[in-house]
């Protein structure tokens, strides 16, 4: 009887026996996620209402004082604007580069897999190594970057890119784009390959040239990929920490201080754990909003199954 | 005529790709060749890309440092534990999500994806406190635990999309033969999912190997440092010696690249399927 049911249903049926099994299968993952994510999240929110210090165990609840202090904290607004600026330029650069590479790769040729693999490498590079390589490139005495620029007379004097408050932005932006473009490239490549080939034939029959086909067939087909990539890039870059911290530590003169670096500094340098948690809550709210946008977009276009 | 324009089109494409690949991989090329230069060639105002004398001197010095092999071993242990626990836990969860019916499945799938996008910086403060309260500060266990929070969501997600491509008949046949769910997972599903399993293993290994923020905040003593923090320590000790530092970078990157090359195809597939599902 049970066998019959199994045969007839497309998926195994649910009954109380299976329910026990489900629990057994999901429990380890659940425990782990609750223990290392859900509980810390709640704890973080809890701390944001206290005046807790990093090095002192006694603390008391102070209501919304941290959040009120945040609104009148110039550094909060300053680092928030910095984060937005960085996210904008990083997303723009990553999208452009990733898209260009995807278009170039979207044709059958001999070395295609080689190029795709080679171009993907920056994505798997450890952030520590990326930071070190770029610092070496930027080095003002022996680095390649300055050597090239002075050799071709693009600049007269070597610049210390990461030590100049006006230029440090560019110095941070380059490696961020460098390690983010591969993901964008892959998503666009997958999206390009999923465009129905018959649409191009139809466009050709209708007398469209290559540029028109690109404009009227390729681009519209890529819109979902565009939106998804933009939102994911915003989420990832906005809260990114490693590269900026390793390259400039927010300096020089706080010129590259982003919100996540400000949180880190408040917690581990100023030791104001309560206030840092309140800043974290603000960051979370912003990202939550963006993530909800992502989900609503995905639901509307039916990008995910079921 | 048509094939002719096609040829030029292809040629231009290839040349463009070659230039871009060269430029984009340039930082790594410089690092690799710097590590192979003798000190005198590293510190020069007119650097050449290729070393005049190839030498492994930097690597010899690196491995003669007492702390460096220690860093490597620490990273290796942390990464292995992370990878093994990840695959065990995530394959169970992914199996339940694909082949068992229960209420709340959609919510769980969504929650998993939500956690996958969760930024590290938000978790570092409370996790630091938790580890402090549990007396786990400065232990490798703390690192493995925290890395699970980032590897698990992705691993479940990736395995789930792979399991969905396995024909249902296979699982049903095993069930009819009297397999329990657990036997079915280990004897039928996992053996046919070797590519996805490898990709997940590699992903979580590499994550543990290269993670910086948590390793930096949770580890205090030099004996427990992982390679990412070790590299930072080397910068502090040997500030100007970029020959040594690039050599250390290459050593740190090598296993990542090696792994990546072996599972490239499945890894890329899984990544794309994970974010753009058609």
| Residues of chain B positioned with their CB less than 8 A from the CB of A267 | 124-125
Q: Is the peptide bond before A87 cis (omega within 30 degrees of 0)?
A: no
Does residue B148 belong to any structural domain of this protein? Answer: yes
- Are B110 and B204 members of one domain? yes
pLDDT at A1 exceeding the cut of 50: no
Band of residue A218 on the pLDDT scale cut at 50, 70, 90: confident
Strand partners, A53: A56
CB A180, CB A242: distance < 8 Å: no
Nearest CA in chain B to A225: B276
Overall average pLDDT of the B63-70 stretch:
84
Give the CATH number, domain containing residue B150. Answer: 1.10.3720.10
The larger pLDDT score, comparing residue B6 to residue B220, is at B220
**Which residues lie below 8 Å from residue A116, measured CB to CB, with a gap of 6+?**
A105, A189, B268
Q: Is the domain of B51 the same as that of B170?
A: no
CA gap B8, B28 in Å, rounded: 31
Mark whether B189 and B124 lie in a shared domain.
yes
Confirm whether B61 is domain-assigned: no
Q: Is residue B8 part of a domain?
A: yes
Q: Which fold has domain A74-301?
A: MetI-like fold (1.10.3720)
Residues B74 and B185 in one domain: yes
Buried b / exposed e over A266-285, threshold 16 CB at 10 Å, is bbbeeebbbbbbbbbbbbbe
**Does the pLDDT at position B99 exceed 90?**
no
Q: What are phi and psi of A207, to 5 degrees?
A: 85, 20
Identify the pLDDT of residue B240.
Answer: 65
Domain that holds residue B42: 2-55
Averaged pLDDT for residues A226-246: 86
Do B40 and B106 belong together in one domain?
no
Chain A contacts in chain B segment 116-135 (CB below 8 A): 117-127, 129-130
Of the pLDDT bands very low, low, confident and very high (cuts 50, 70, 90), residue B41 is confident
The alpha carbon dihedral of A210, A215, A221, A225 has a sign of positive
- pLDDT confidence band for B276 (50 / 70 / 90): very low
DSSP character for B161?
A: H
Contact assessment for residue B101 and residue A13, using Cβ atoms and an 8 Å cutoff? yes
Provide, as residue numbers in chain B, all residues whose Cβ is less than 8 Å from the Cβ of A241: 119-121, 213
| Same domain, residue pair B7 and B95 | no
* Nearest-angstrom CA–CA distance, B74 and B142: 13
Question: pLDDT tens digits for A255-282?
Answer: 888 899 999 998 888 888 888 888 888 8
Across the interface, do B253 and A191 touch by the CB < 8 Å criterion?
no
Same domain, B10 and B44: yes
B161 and B263 part of one domain: yes
% of chain A with per-residue pLDDT over 70: 92
- Rounded mean pLDDT of B139-163? 85
To the nearest 5 percent, what fractions of chain B are helix, strand and coil? 80, 0, 20
H or E stretch including B189? Answer: none
Question: A50 forms bridges with which residues in the sheet?
Answer: A61
pLDDT at B263: 75
Residue A302 has pLDDT above 70, yes or no: no
Chain B's closest residue to A26, CA to CA, is B93
Say if B68 is an interface residue toward chain A (CB within 8 Å). no
Band of the pLDDT at A96, cuts 50, 70, 90?
very high
Residue B202 above 50 pLDDT? yes
Contacts of A246 (CB under 8 A, 6+ apart): A127, A128, A131, A132, B212, B232
pLDDT tens figures, B166-178: 887 888 888 788 7
One DSSP character per residue, chain A reads -HHHHHHHSSSPPP-HHHHHHHHHHHHHHHHHHIIIIIHHHHHHHHHTTB--BTTB----B-TTHHHHHHHT-HHHHHHHHHHHHHHHHHHHHHHHHHHHHHHHHSS--TTHHHHHHHHHHHHHS-HHHHHHHHHHHH-TTT-HHHHHHHHTTS-SS---GGG-TTTHHHHHHHHHHHHHHHHHHHHHHHHHHTS-HHHHHHHHHTT--HHHHIIIIIHHHHHHHHHHHHHHHHHHHHT--HHHHHHTTT-STTTT--HHHHHHHHHHTS--HHHHHHHHHHHHHHHHHHHHHHHHHHHHHT-S--
**pLDDT band of A178, cuts 50, 70, 90:** very high
Average pLDDT, chain A: 81
**Residue B277 pLDDT greater than 70, yes or no:** no
Which residue in chain A has the smallest CA separation from B153?
A33
DSSP element (H, E) containing B153: helix B140-163
Under 8 Å between Cβ of B58 and B246: yes
Task: Give the pair of three-digit tokens for residue B237.
Answer: 């000790």
pLDDT recorded at residue A300:
73
Query: Is residue B46 located within the same domain as residue B173?
Result: no
- Same domain (yes/no): B111, B202: yes
Which of A106-120, A223-237, B208-222 tops mean pLDDT?
B208-222
What's the confidence (pLDDT) of residue A4?
38
Q: What are the residues facing A157 on neighbouring strands?
A: none
Mutate to test the interface with A, among B27, B211, B270 (most CBs of A within 10 A): B27
Are residues B176 and A7, on separate chains, in Cβ contact within 8 Å?
A: yes
**Cα–Cα distance list, A186 to B21, B253, B265 (Å):** 15, 22, 12
Tokens found for residue A302: 């039916």
In angstroms, rounded to a whole number, what is the distance separating the alpha carbons of residues B178 and B166? 19
The total of structural domains in chain B comes to: 2
Using CA atoms, how far residue B50 sits from A13, A218, B56, B240, in Å, is 65, 42, 14, 20
pLDDT at residue A5 tops 70: no
- Judge if B208 and B89 occupy the same domain: yes
Checking if the pLDDT of B184 tops 90, the result is no
Assess whether pLDDT exceeds 50 at residue A305: no
- Give yes or no: residues B70 and B96 share one domain: yes
Query: Which residue among A33, A121, A132 places its CB closest to the CB of B231?
Result: A132
Lowest mean pLDDT among A184-193, B112-121, B139-148, B200-209: B112-121
> B258: which residues sit within 8 A by CB, 6+ positions away?
none
CA nearest A23: which of B96, B198, B188, B278? B96
Residues of A in contact with B89 (CB under 8 A): 28-29, 32
Of the candidates B212, B271, B277, the beta carbon closest to that of A127 is on B212
For the segment A58-74, the average pLDDT, to the nearest whole number, is 82
Is B132 contained in some domain?
yes
Pick from A27, A176, A279, A235: nearest CA to B95: A27
Angle at A84 between CA B122 and CA B121, to 5 degrees: 15
Would you call A294 exposed, middle or buried from its count of C-beta atoms within 10 A (0-12, 13-18, 19+)?
buried
Cα–chain-centroid distance for residue B67? 23
Summarize pLDDT for B240-263 with one digit per residue, the tens: 678 888 888 899 999 888 888 877
The two structure tokens encoding residue A117: 């693999």
How much is the pLDDT for B82? 92
- Measure in Å the smallest separation between the Cα of B13 and chain A Cα atoms: 6
Report the pLDDT averaged over residues A223-243.
84
Task: Say what the alpha-carbon torsion angle A94, A97, A101, A106 is, to the nearest 10 degrees.
Answer: 70
């Amino acid at each position: 009887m049970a066998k019959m049911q199994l045969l007839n249903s497309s998926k195994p049926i649910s009954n109380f026996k299976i329910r026990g099994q489900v629990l057994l299968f999901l429990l380890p993952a659940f425990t782990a996620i609750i223990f290392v994510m859900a509980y810390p999240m709640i704890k973080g929110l809890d701390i944001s209402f206290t005046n807790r210090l990093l090095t002192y165990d006694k603390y008391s609840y102070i209501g919304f004082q941290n959040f009120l202090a945040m609104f009148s904290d110039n550094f909060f607004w300053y680092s928030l604007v910095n984060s937005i600026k960085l996210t904008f330029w990083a997303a723009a650069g990553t999208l452009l580069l990733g898209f260009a590479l995807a278009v170039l790769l979207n044709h059958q040729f001999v070395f295609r897999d080689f190029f795709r693999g080679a171009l993907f490498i920056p994505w798997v590079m450890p952030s520590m190594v990326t930071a070190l390589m770029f610092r070496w490139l930027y080095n003002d005495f022996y680095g390649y970057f300055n050597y090239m620029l002075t050799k071709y007379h693009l600049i007269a004097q070597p610049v210390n890119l990461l030590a100049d408050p006006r230029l440090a932005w560019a110095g941070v932006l380059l490696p961020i784009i460098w390690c983010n473009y591969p993901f964008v490239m892959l998503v666009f490549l997958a999206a390009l390959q999923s465009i129905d080939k018959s649409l191009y034939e139809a466009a050709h029959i209708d007398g469209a040239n290559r540029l028109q086909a690109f404009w009227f067939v390729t681009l519209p087909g890529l819109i979902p990929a565009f939106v998804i990539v933009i939102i994911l890039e915003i989420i990832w870059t906005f809260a990114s920490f490693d590269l900026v911290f390793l390259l400039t530590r927010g300096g020089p003169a706080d010129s590259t201080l982003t919100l996540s670096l400000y949180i880190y500094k408040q917690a581990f340098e100023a030791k104001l754990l309560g206030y840092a948690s309140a800043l974290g809550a603000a960051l979370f709210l912003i990202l939550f909003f963006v993530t909800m946008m992502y989900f609503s977009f995905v639901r509307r276009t039916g990008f995910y199954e079921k | 005529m048509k094939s002719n324009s096609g040829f030029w089109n292809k040629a231009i494409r290839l040349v463009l790709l070659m230039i871009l690949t060269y430029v984009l991989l340039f930082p790594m090329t410089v690092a690799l060749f710097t590590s192979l230069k003798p000190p005198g060639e590293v510190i020069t105002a007119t650097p050449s890309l290729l070393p005049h004398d190839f030498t492994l001197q930097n690597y010899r010095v690196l491995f003669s440092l007492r702390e460096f092999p220690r860093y490597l071993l620490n990273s290796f242990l942390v990464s292995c534990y992370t990878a093994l626990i990840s695959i065990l836990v995530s394959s169970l969860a992914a199996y339940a999500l694909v082949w068992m019916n229960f209420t709340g499945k959609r919510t769980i799938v969504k929650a998993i994806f939500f956690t996958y996008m969760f930024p590290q910086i938000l978790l570092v403060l409370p996790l630091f406190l938790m580890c402090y309260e549990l007396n786990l500060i400065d232990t490798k266990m703390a690192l493995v635990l925290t890395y699970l929070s980032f590897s698990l969501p992705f691993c479940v997600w990736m395995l789930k999309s792979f399991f969905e491509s396995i024909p249902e008949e296979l699982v049903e046949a095993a069930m009819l033969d009297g397999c329990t769910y657990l036997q079915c997972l280990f004897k039928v599903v996992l053996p046919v999912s070797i590519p996805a399993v490898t990709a997940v293993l590699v992903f979580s290994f590499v994550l543990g190997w290269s993670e910086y923020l948590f390793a930096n905040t949770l580890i205090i003593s030099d004996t427990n440092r992982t390679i990412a923090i070790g590299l930072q320590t080397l910068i502090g000790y040997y500030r100007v010696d970029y020959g040594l530092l690039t050599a250390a970078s290459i050593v740190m990157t090598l296993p990542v690249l090696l792994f990546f090359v072996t599972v490239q195809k499945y890894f890329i597939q899984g990544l794309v399927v994970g974010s753009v599902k058609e």
